[in-house]
Structure 1
Amino acid sequence: MGNQLPPGQFETTSWPILHQGDVYKFNDETWTFKLFGEVIKERILSYDEVMKLTKAVSTIDMHCVTTWSKFGTTFEGIPLRELLKLVEVNDDVKYIKIYGYYNGDPYGYSANLPLHALLGDDALFVYRWKDVDGDWQDISPKHGYPLRFIPPSSFYLWKGSKWATGIEFMKEDEAGFWEELGYSMTANPFKEERYR
């Protein structure tokens, strides 16, 4: 599906910055990542514990609901499936919410996603990136440093929570931040699922 432009999109070589609320100021001593919800036992990880997890490198196309698409961006990060290995989820867990900072609240932002679609190398909690001709660089604070979820290209980019702080495992789908404001629950750019 690489370099396929979804309907209503235009291609850009830049990575535009769009976000709600304040830019989170990272503190590695207080930052945590929580795995919770429909699990046998919750886990809270420190920054060091998260950064010791197995990494992956993947090139992912990004499609923003505001109509830009950026092809060929390579990311390094922790695959969601590696975090899934750290908890035992209850039966019938089919959905997750990925949380992030919003105006000082570690769980103020969230995006809902189907778990089955996120088990490959193209569902990453990223900390660095590069373009086709560029060198590796940390993602910037405005792009979600220290950890931002980048979803597979089959989802609009608002599903990619910035300043990620945790994953809630769920049996039923539940609206996140933008979904509560009328955005699509499924957010497939190739079907132009922008709004409900």
Structure 2
Amino acid sequence: MGETNGRDRIPPGQVVTTKFPVLHAGEIPRYRDDLSDWDFRVFGEVERPVSLTWEAFRRLPTREVVVDIHCVTRWSKLGTRWRGVPAARVLEEAGVRPEARFVLVHADPDYTTNVPLDDLYRDDVLLAFEYEGEPLAPEHGYPVRLLVPHRYFWKSAKWVRGFEVLREDRPGYWEVRGYHNEADPWKEQRYSF
């Protein structure tokens, strides 16, 4: 948003950092070196449920984006560079039904977060596997994390494994614990109370 170095890129209540803080609930998942134990599923309100192996996922078209990211804990990191598969691409593979409105994102270990379906069709929303030209580090979501830069960063689930396409919204891990359902950093939607 706004000018490259302008203050208008920093949502209210945020502080810019050059570091990339590590925050998550639970243990960091470990996968086989060849990722033969990894897959990505799209299921629920779809015409063709999808299950992609690592090899099939990596054959999908990719995109690079440069975006600002904002954490609910009040840090922002500007101009981050990511590469991944556009989230819209995997939804197209599955054929989302017209009545679908939301997605419950599933990630290891037993993590979920919810986003409106329309969010996943934005050009800068990726199933990211690279950060700053390198594969994601385990603590940042290796092998794949969802990148939803216009929401607080807990919506960008690490270790993502699937999209459950829904007609009605269903809150995820942090949302049932009091985090705001929409998570818009420009409105400071940190918590629901």
In structure 1, runs of 5+ residues without a counterpart are: 103-107, 131-135
Q: Which residue of 2 aligns with 1:116?
A: 118
Deviations 1:133-163 (A, max 9, x none): xxx21110000000001103x2000001111
Tell me whether 1:18 sits opposite 2:23 in the alignment.
yes
Shift of 1:39: 1.3
- Aligned mates of 1:142, 1:129 — CA distance in 2: 12
1:1-196 map, 5 Å: 1-2=1-2, 4-27=9-32, 28-102=35-109, 108-130=110-132, 136-152=133-149, 154-196=150-192
CA RMSD of superposed structures (Å): 1.1
In structure 2, runs of 5+ residues without a counterpart are: none
Q: Scaled by the length of structure 2, what TM-score is found? A: 0.92
Secondary structure at the aligned position of 2:122 is classed as coil
Deviations 1:148-180 (A, max 9, x none): 01103x200000111110001011111011001
Q: Which residue of 2 aligns with 1:105?
A: none
Give yes or no for contact 2:16–2:76 (8 Å, CA) kept in 1. Answer: yes
Give yes or no for contact 2:48–2:93 (8 Å, CA) kept in 1. Answer: no
Give yes or no for contact 1:57–1:121 (8 Å, CA) kept in 2. Answer: no
Give yes or no for contact 2:106–2:113 (8 Å, CA) kept in 1. Answer: yes
Secondary structure at the aligned position of 2:139 is classed as helix
- Aligned mates of 2:163, 2:120 — CA distance in 1: 12
The one-letter code of the counterpart of 1:179 is E
- Aligned mates of 1:181, 1:155 — CA distance in 2: 17
Q: Which portions of structure 1, spanning 4 or more consecutive aligned residues, are displaced by more than 2 angstroms?
A: none
